[in-house]
Structure 1
């Protein structure tokens, strides 16, 4: 939870803001709705991991995958850039795809924590998938 708060604060501080009258551009973290991960990794091999996330309006644009490693754990979310102001934003609630490559290293397993938003108490919720590594 603390890492997510630090991330959100960092994005707020470092996000681009265009002050051209009524326009503003900034980054947001969006929850991962679904994740497709192999059932096992072979040490030293590279794998694509596929994500699905919900794009709420046409003013959201894919930016990157948020990825933090700590030991054998990986926390993952999707970053979008939001354009506000004089743009004609249309509600789309569109399920989109994103992906990233992962190389299995020396760990015996990897635990992926895909951020799925916060509950009513403000606690981060995760889809947790553990993947064993074979030789």
Structure 2
């Protein structure tokens, strides 16, 4: 049964395999992050939404900045103008998304925790595991 499902999944287009693989990883990490919460299902949904908005928003802003920057550079024949417009586009979209998501209950504090810098690497003599100080409101 699992072999059959894997074979069917292998036939999907590359973008669908990547999207489903990343989605599965994000879902599993959302389950891990919400494991000890009182309302587990809501915690998984909020964590999943926070991951998508945080990392997906950044990827979308970078893609939009690259796209509009290349269009401006090609239209104006000035690479510096394309770079400038692209960087400004990324900043405006990323900061705009951050301001919008500040008002989503349950998701905003999770996104702030992701970008809060509460994580650091600890040398244990063998590897550098990332350790995060978990603080919830």
The TM-score normalised by the length of structure 1 is 0.30
Which of the pair has more CA radius of gyration? 2
Structure whose residues are more often helix by fraction: 2
The TM-score normalised by the length of structure 2 is 0.30
